[in-house]
Structure 1
Amino acid sequence: MYFTEEHDAFRQSFQDFLQKEVVPNINEWEEKGFVDKNIYKKFGEMGYFGLNYPEDQGGLNLDLFYMVVFLEELQKVNSGGFAAAMWAHTYLAMTHLNAEGSDFIKEKYLTPSIEGDMVGCLCVTEPFGGSDVAGMRTTAVKKGDKYIINGSKTFITNGVYSDYLVVAAKTQPELGNKGMSIFVVDRESVGLSSTALVKLGWKASDTAEIAFDNVEVPAENLLGEEGKGFGYIMQHFASERVIMGVNAHARAEFALEYAIQYMSERTAFGKTIDSFQALRHKVAEMASEIEMCKEFNYSIINRLDKGRYVVKEASMSKLMSTKIADGVIYECLQLLGGYGYMEDYPMARLLRDSRLGPIGGGTSEILREIIAKMIIDKKEYKPSTK
């Protein structure tokens, strides 16, 4: 219904690429806490960063179900950190460059990002405000042909080793969310510093707290129009949420497939444990939950691909898919018994990595309130215009 033969062929080729270039290095990257830069170049050479970007920037301009394949297969390498490093670059930082960037910005940052020569990160969350984007304190004051940025960001994926940062800041703090703008900031800018954070999971991604101390940014590095940053961020939150929903159903499916294979080989009381009714019914329930998430997420992607505004559905996707994924992976670990608790098996890492789902990109608590406003208070969120 959603995937063509071309999608299936891409899935197979991407699987082969990941098995050859990524999987053998995952444990090393998990231990080091960051991904080697050369893998970005390999992704770029294969066109994986340009799947949904314009051809005149070096992209392939394909439909969003290629993105779905990209996201789903990344989850199967069993490193939420590696997957996050890839999709945060491609679908967080680069999304803003493409949607709001000038021709100058696209030539300087977007094309090299598609080619894998530059890596980006998106800086919105702050130490004193996560989901409260409007309450951010980072400022950007215009002085002549430059903006001076002061403030801090935290929990930034690719925040240590990226080449540029897409940064949200208040250009007119007195106007609240209407005084927010977005900039591209070069990594080597004077006054910019980053500190690596130690996390429970997502070990392979470099996550940072970033400080801006009188960082000078050329006025030409403004994305879109001054004062419209909040709208831009909200516009892209919908795609980020459904991306996290797709990630969730994919890792849950990966966990269940592994558990089923394990059950077919593990014996107890003279028979394989996949013959015990209590465990079979648990598997049936989990498979049903995953399938519902997949179908819902695919329908959202289909609408998003047609240009529809899906903030309500995307919020529901992230809320429920991440919750279900956590539950499925918890139960799959249980199905492995003591081996589920061992680091030599995939479930321990899956459990840690999955736990970020209900936190990152808008906590479940915040999403429930956003959804409640739309359902109960009849609040309407409308797309922003550049």
Structure 2
Amino acid sequence: MAFLNQIKSPLMHKVFGHALTTRSVLLTTHRSITFTAQHEELRKTVRKVIETHVNPYVDQWEEEEIFPSHQVFKKFGEAGLLGITRPPEYNGLGLDYSYSIAFFEELANINCGGIPTGITVQTDMAVPALTAFGSDYLKKEFLAPTVAGDYVACVGVSEPSGGSDVAALLTTARRQGDDLIINGSKMWISNGIQADWMSLLANTREGAPHRNKSLICLPLKTPGVKTEKINKMGLKCSDTAIVYFDDVRVPVKNIVGEEGQGFTYQMIQFQDERLCAATAAVAQMDRIVNETIEYCRQRKTFGSPLIDNQVIHFTLAELKTEIELLRSTVYRAADAFISGENVTYLASIAKLKAGRLSREVSDKCLQYYGGMGYTKEMLISRAFRDSRALSIAGGTDEIMLGIICKFLDILPKKRG
């Protein structure tokens, strides 16, 4: 790919900044990232993969309610796009996070939300902690083939009993000699049906809920693992599963980093996930508004284009304003992330606003398509269904508000 040939001095991306704390000084960074000709080469590479290997088949995969993740991810892996910030020794490009931002934005050119969801689980939800804290053995066994597109990865945090209260998860991984015996279940697992391995958060010992959990690299072809597909309202082609564990045996050496630090690792890992989700959402909303503007230019009622209606063009201008303001927050957070700062506060704000604004954009824009917007033939109807998940997955709106309140020190004080 042309982009790969133009990279001269790759910068190693530092995945995490200082340790996550309950309270922190609010970010003072006011810079924004800058895109270069190299970023544009990466964008061209992403668009080419999408136009050739993804969009021609999206409608079929939406009908089938699954896309061939191994086939698709391999194409992205061959283009060097699944490990943009990962170390070169594990098949990555070793670039800074600004290139990931460009990548996430280009994923908006995919004609559905399900495939970008699966891709970003692969690139920025399952492997950040493994990259930062995993042993060389685990990186060779799991990170390198995931970045190459040979493995499909998923994340196992949420459970049938609840997803938001991570400290209260019930899945256990008890030590037996040199092995861990895993029992329990995980739910809402994107890529779960086809995944080769899971970044699993489980209780590995007794003790305080924030100090008794570990992240474990779990091969999903291990005996005792069973998956069951979940049928969803949107994100239809993204396979989503319940995964059951019945005396599943994996080596203790599959624990990422230090045993008992899994909760902390996952909380830090959420920074990647939420910033990634907000970035992709901004680009998706931008595309929706742009396509709605074009539709309203072409569609006429009472002899005039819809776009001439003041309510319509004012509304679209208002939506564009909101999108641009959110983009500024995302870029500010990304710049801070590159600098090694703790971006939990800004990432939570961006994720919260992205979920809410996505619903508003898809709803208001669908209205201007009239009856056509309510049909499966129009991409706006798919966007309407897909966008609703953003306020739930990766931390609900309410969880984001709670995090923001912690940083503002305005949560009620515990009594007794």
Q: How far off is 1:378 after superposition?
A: 8.3
1:145 to 178, 197, 210: 178
Identify the residue that residue 360 of structure 1 maps to in structure 2: 393
SS of 1:49's equivalent?
A: coil
Identify the residue that residue 239 of structure 2 maps to in structure 1: 206
For structure 2, list consecutive stretches of 5 or more residues without a partner in the other structure. 1-32
TM-score, structure 1 normalization: 0.96
CA contact (8 A) 2:46 2:107 kept: no
Q: Please report the RMSD computed on the Cα atoms of aligned residues, expressed in angstroms.
A: 1.3
Identify the residue that residue 383 of structure 1 maps to in structure 2: none
Counterpart Cα distance in 2 of 1:34 and 1:133: 28
Identify the residue that residue 253 of structure 1 maps to in structure 2: 286
Counterpart Cα distance in 1 of 2:47 and 2:218: 34
For structure 1, list consecutive stretches of 5 or more residues without a partner in the other structure. 380-386
Identify the residue that residue 131 of structure 2 maps to in structure 1: 98
Identify the residue that residue 266 of structure 2 maps to in structure 1: 233
Q: How far off is 1:328 after superposition?
A: 0.9
Counterpart Cα distance in 2 of 1:98 and 1:34: 28
1:113 aligns with 2:146: yes
Deviation per CA, 1:302-330, whole angstroms, max 9, x where unpaired? 11011110101110110012111110111
Identify the residue that residue 48 of structure 1 maps to in structure 2: 81
Q: What pairs up with 1:1-386 in 2 under 5 angstroms?
A: 2-36=34-68, 37-377=70-410
Q: How far off is 1:13 after superposition?
A: 2.6
SS of 2:95's equivalent?
A: coil
Counterpart Cα distance in 1 of 2:219 and 2:133: 17
Greater CA drift, 90-99 or 46-55: 90-99
What's the % identity of the aligned pairs? 36
Q: How far off is 1:9 after superposition?
A: 2.3
Kindly provide the amino acid, as one letter, of the partner of residue 141 in structure 1: R
Counterpart Cα distance in 1 of 2:166 and 2:172: 13
Higher RCO structure, 1 or 2 (CA under 8 Å, sep 6+): 2
Aligned residue pairs total 379
Counterpart Cα distance in 1 of 2:136 and 2:390: 35
Q: How far off is 1:188 after superposition?
A: 1.2
CA contact (8 A) 2:112 2:235 kept: yes
Greater CA drift, 190-199 or 241-250: 241-250
Deviation per CA, 1:129-177, whole angstroms, max 9, x where unpaired? 2110000000110010000011110000011110111111001243222
Counterpart Cα distance in 2 of 1:307 and 1:376: 23
Is the helix fraction higher in 1 or 2? 1
